[in-house]
Amino acid sequence: MNAAKILFAGTPDFALASLQALVDAGHVPLAVLTQPDRPAGRGKKLTASPVKLYAAEKEIPVWQPATLKDRDMIEKISTLDPDIIIVAAYGLILPQAVLDIPRCGCLNVHASLLPRWRGAAPIQQAILNGDSETGICLMEMEAGLDTGPVFARATIAIGEQDTAGELHDRLAALGGKLLVEKLPAILSASLVADPQNSAEATYAGKIQTQDAAIDWTAEAEEIARKIRAYNPVPGAWFEFGDERIKCWKATVLNDVEGPGGIILQAGKDGIDITCGRGALRILEVQRPGRRKISAGELAGQLSLAGRRLG
């Protein structure tokens, strides 16, 4: 059997894990689609995606269209005559004209147990909602948002202290492993995809900065999940004076009650803040434009004890 003609579409580190797994297994794509270079860092310098950097290193042609709806780009993809298009966290919608091109269709590496958490931020939503497990699905793409039938899935547990960053890395590696394991059967049509039950679908929309604001009237456990879900991006935050302080690590104190937002104590062990139910001990924070520090260090910089947060 001749090597499959693969077009890969992906952008961030999550996608990179799948691309590396393909290349390591001998499934080198004919070309890679990735998002255009974006400004990044304090200097807003144009920065290539992780997928682009790796593809260039491996001398794989890189295409960076701003949209896939352009007729010339659709023709370019069609001329490549791919057997399959593999998509992982690409960031652009594939129009029907592109979905129809490959003989074996378009395959998405999705970081949830579909139909739970369709959409852009499944890892964060799984943590926010206290899910005990999540996983990877290999889904046949169609026009709807993550609605296609699923070829294969793999499940992992979500640890009580897992951050989105930690869970992301485990899922990315799992995605690459599952993709390489199941790709031959998908290409040979010996693996049949199972339809999703849309009645059970939940959705994980794009994350906005305001989503990460801490509401001290919420339960301590809920706030703790928010801190983990938004670590490393965008970072859960609260306002103190005219500063927006990000919180990176905290632990729940269940034996404390009081109106939400009261700073009970601030010292070397952390900063204890009442919530709508229970309290949180903040352990790691970051002031605007500064490095991450322990909450004990922040307690030494600001007068906190007894203050109330909005």
Measured between alpha carbons, how far is residue 14 from residues 18, 95, 134 in Å? Answer: 7, 22, 15
Averaged pLDDT score across all residues of the chain: 96
Q: What is the pLDDT of residue 44?
A: 83
Reading the block at residue 69, the tokens are 């709806």
Tell me the CA end-to-end span of the chain in Å, nearest whole number. Answer: 65
Q: What is the pLDDT of residue 191?
A: 97
Q: Where in the chain is the domain with CATH 3.40.50.170?
A: 6-204
- In the predicted model, is pLDDT for residue 274 greater than 90? yes
From 19, 33, 16, select the one nearest 70 (Cα to Cα). 33
Gap between the Cα atoms of 214 and 212, Å rounded: 6
- In the predicted model, is pLDDT for residue 278 greater than 70? yes
**Which CATH entry fits the domain spanning 209-301: 3.90.1300.10, 3.40.630.30, 3.10.25.10, 3.40.640.10?**
3.10.25.10
- In the predicted model, is pLDDT for residue 206 greater than 80? yes
Q: Among 150-154, 164-168, 188-192, 252-256, whose mean pLDDT is lowest?
A: 252-256
pLDDT-based confidence at residue 257 (cuts at 50, 70, 90): confident
- The class level of CATH for 6-204 reads alpha beta
- In the predicted model, is pLDDT for residue 41 greater than 80? no
Q: What is the pLDDT of residue 218?
A: 95
Strand pairing partners for 285? Answer: 247, 293
- In the predicted model, is pLDDT for residue 1 greater than 70? no
Phi then psi for residue 229, to 5 deg, are -70, -30
Gap between the Cα atoms of 42 and 301, Å rounded: 25
Gap between the Cα atoms of 127 and 133, Å rounded: 9
Q: What is the pLDDT of residue 268?
A: 95
Q: What is the pLDDT of residue 146?
A: 97
Cα-atom radius of gyration of the chain, to the nearest Å? 22
pLDDT-based confidence at residue 43 (cuts at 50, 70, 90): confident
Q: Where in the chain is the domain with CATH 3.10.25.10?
A: 209-301
- How much is the average pLDDT of 226-253? 97
For the chain, how long is the longest CA-to-CA vector? 72
Gap between the Cα atoms of 309 and 163, Å rounded: 24
Q: What is the pLDDT of residue 42?
A: 75
pTM as predicted: 0.95
- In the predicted model, is pLDDT for residue 17 greater than 70? yes
Gap between the Cα atoms of 65 and 225, Å rounded: 37
From 144, 139, 53, 49, select the one nearest 93 (Cα to Cα). 144
Q: What is the pLDDT of residue 140?
A: 98
